[in-house]
Chain A
């Protein structure tokens, strides 16, 4: 059993209530930080821990905190990004449902480190029941004197609010989140200026993921060095992975950032191997926006090394043969899955969620969805594959926010690794009429149909 940081007390009955949480050592980090440490020392501790943002990009949290503008003298603000909307990711929901007080505790310590006196949790509108859980937790924390004026006699004031979004994926992008929090349309802002300088209401702002914030109390309690002992190299600590798809035991798992991918998928401690013991076909290791990996590149990197659940190992080989750990939405597909349909589904999502501000994303995501729909439903022609490749190439990197990249990467990876399957859909439209075609005839049985003649000659 791997060591747990976040989910240590997850099975204690009533852990979501204040009394039980406090009994299990909750809010100890607040006492420790407020009474024995200066804000700068907390930041140093987080820097030492090597904690990286858990929202997807993996940017070092301590470094992000140190960027916050202190020269202007404007009030600093901390915002917790609980707008978890990435298809395949559901770790934050689980954490907030079960451990709302850990989030409040983390928010207090992090706000103290940033010397913020007004902090927000921005939660997506679909998590309305979680919103109520958080509101209750915040109320309890106020009642117990962990929030408000002069917290526990330390002289530090903090107000914490939880705000509901209206249900847009784009509001998980930090500047769009800030716009939405300000009550405006959730369009990403043009950077620079970065939120660390001009953020919420024009003040210096840090936006952190739920899981990142929840890691802070442990770091304060046990020290950054202890945290850094977990994991390998620059991937320190543990990470929550939301495993789903054709595996025996889907769910949220806390892993140390060092275990091999094969162990995660196949061992009984985690996913428990493939459902109905069918062969693994592909895997999206970090939420829908990261490139899909075929089976032969999932457990081993292109160089033949064992692929580990770390930021570095997962992205080994770049996008050509690697992927990203992203937000930890681990989706496993067996040989019944149709990659074209899956890619179309993702493209449909990004088309629906594009904010429509900049042209490549607004028009490109819709176009990709339509072309993929055509191919999936047997109306495609052979130039469509190159057309798709060209569209994604022209979206990627040319948009205001990373949503354009997120829409382009899965399409690019699907074409890169599963081009034959696209060709199969185009050349044998009658075979793909039924959406469950690969359940009847798995890819292995039909792939000879699109075998390259020139490949046979070689």
Chain B
């Protein structure tokens, strides 16, 4: 089996493994970020170019370095290969460039985006982005599209990773969803605003690395970091029924698949990815529908992981003016939504009225 060295750490992997998966086997900081690659979707990867790495030694037999940076998600390892990721200034510089490219047409509407807090692009931006943009022109915008009554597509936020089209290809039977146009006018769309009517279509939301595809039953209901994730399961005839439910108090706000540290859907004991059906995702919002297994132990490193109970939590003392803390009390009340019948507001935030381009 080939042995590959990444940032000075050697690992033995099966022949044909990609550099990215070899790095994931080692784990830790040296794993290149991936926006488009999704190990459970065949054919994904190679597009976003955030996982570029420098190959300083091609293989033991042919030690010439590769002249160009290679996409680690689609380059297979060779025995004796040496790869530089975090230790290569060239890679770090180019990755900053790629992040800048991804962000120039991104609306940066994180304050009103449902994905904020668990967004791959946000994390990438924190790691490699710069606070100031050099882009002066108008950003590209699109109209919002409803893909079915439960999924909202907001192309303006999309980074064209193609993951959702692979979901449509590989999980659903009728293909009505793909890429239209080309270049920076390219957009994910359904065939003449067709709804993707399929039991598994909701998984698009989970594979989307940004907030382009959002769950309409959860849209604008809460921020993800206010919710507590619990592993839960139910008997389901259509899918595995193993999910994460996101709760606030005793209410289930949303249901997602169980995601691993790379923000990909977890693998079941039988080796299949634990995708869930639309019934479990959109319809079962009552605690009695579920058997709660217990708090979720980990998530990827992100804002939502800040409240991870498995780590030791320090009590934070805020040493400031009590009048400021008064505002904090008010915030707390607002966040907890005590007294608001939030799930039945007078005007639903996600009843399609928000398609006027305000958000």
Contacts and interface: CB of A to CB of B under 8 A. Distances in A.
Interface in A327-352: 351-352
A421 B201 CA distance: 54
B184 interface: yes
Contact of A370 (B76, B94, B137, B159): B137
B69 A398 contact: yes
**Most chain A beta-carbon neighbours within 10 Å: one of B47, B98, B184:** B184
A168 interface: yes
B97 A360 contact: yes
Given A387-B134, A394-B94, A399-B49, A355 B101 contact: no
Given A363-B101, A367-B135, A398-B98, A358 B182 contact: no
B65 to A, nearest CB: 13
Given A190-B45, A387-B134, A398-B52, A356 B182 contact: yes
Contact of B183 (A190, A365, A398): A365
Contacts of B183: 351-356, 362, 365-366
Interface in A348-404: 351-360, 362-367, 370, 374, 387, 390, 393-394, 397-400
Interface string B93-107: 010011011101100
A356 B71 contact: no
B186 A362 contact: yes
B257 interface: no
Interface residues of B, number: 36
Contact of A357 (B47, B136, B181): B47
A185 to B, nearest CB: 6
Contacts of A170: 182
Nearest to A357: B47
A190 B104 contact: no
A192 B135 CA distance: 34
Nearest to B138: A370
Contacts of A351: 183-184
**Most chain B beta-carbon neighbours within 10 Å: one of A357, A359, A366, A387:** A359
A362 B185 CA distance: 9
Interface in B31-82: 45-50, 52, 67-69, 71, 74, 76
A423 to B, nearest CB: 19
Interface in B1-58: 45-50, 52
Contact of B104 (A352, A353, A367): A367
B160 interface: yes
Contacts of B101: 359-360, 362-364, 367, 394
Contacts of A387: 134
A358 B68 CA distance: 16
A363 B45 contact: no
B53 to A, nearest CB: 12
B179 interface: yes
B182 A359 contact: no
Nearest to A396: B68
Given A362-B186, A398-B49, A400-B46, A190 B74 contact: yes
B18 to A, nearest CB: 11
Given A394-B98, A397-B69, A363 B184 contact: yes
Contact of A355 (B135, B136, B182): B182
Given A367-B135, A370-B137, A399-B49, A362 B184 contact: yes
B22 to A, nearest CB: 17
**Most chain B beta-carbon neighbours within 10 Å: one of A190, A360, A363:** A363
Nearest to A364: B101
A400 B179 contact: no
A352 B104 CA distance: 17
Contacts of B71: 190, 400
B336 to A, nearest CB: 40
A362 B183 CA distance: 5
Nearest to A186: B182
Nearest to A379: B136
Interface in A384-435: 387, 390, 393-394, 397-400
A374 B185 CA distance: 20
B315 to A, nearest CB: 43
Contact of B97 (A190, A356, A394): A394
Contacts of B105: 363, 366
Contacts of A370: 137
A354 B182 contact: yes
B185 A356 contact: yes
A390 B96 CA distance: 11
Contacts of A190: 45-46, 71, 74
Contacts of B46: 190, 358, 400
B127 to A, nearest CB: 16
Contacts of A393: 97
Given A363-B105, A398-B52, A399-B49, A168 B182 contact: yes
Nearest to A373: B137
Contacts of A360: 49, 97-98, 101
A363 B47 contact: no
B47 A358 contact: yes
A190 B44 CA distance: 10
Contacts of B186: 355-356, 362
B82 to A, nearest CB: 19
B49 A356 contact: no
Interface string B273-295: 00000000000000000000000
Contacts of A355: 182-183, 186
A366 B186 CA distance: 12
Nearest to B71: A190
The 6 closest A-B CB pairs, nearest first, are: A394-B97, A356-B186, A190-B46, A363-B101, A354-B183, A366-B184
28 contacts: A351-B184, A353-B182, A353-B183, A354-B182, A355-B182, A355-B183, A356-B179, A356-B182, A356-B185, A356-B186, A357-B47, A359-B48, A359-B159, A360-B97, A362-B160, A362-B183, A362-B184, A363-B101, A363-B102, A363-B184, A364-B101, A366-B105, A367-B137, A370-B137, A387-B134, A394-B98, A398-B98, A400-B71
Interface of B: 45-50, 52, 67-69, 71, 74, 76, 94, 97-98, 100-102, 104-105, 134-137, 159-160, 162, 178-179, 181-186
Interface of A: 168, 170, 185, 190, 192, 351-360, 362-367, 370, 374, 387, 390, 393-394, 397-400
Given A356-B186, A394-B97, 17 more contacts: A168-B182, A170-B182, A185-B179, A192-B76, A356-B179, A357-B160, A359-B102, A362-B101, A362-B186, A363-B102, A363-B184, A366-B183, A387-B134, A397-B67, A398-B68, A398-B69, A398-B97
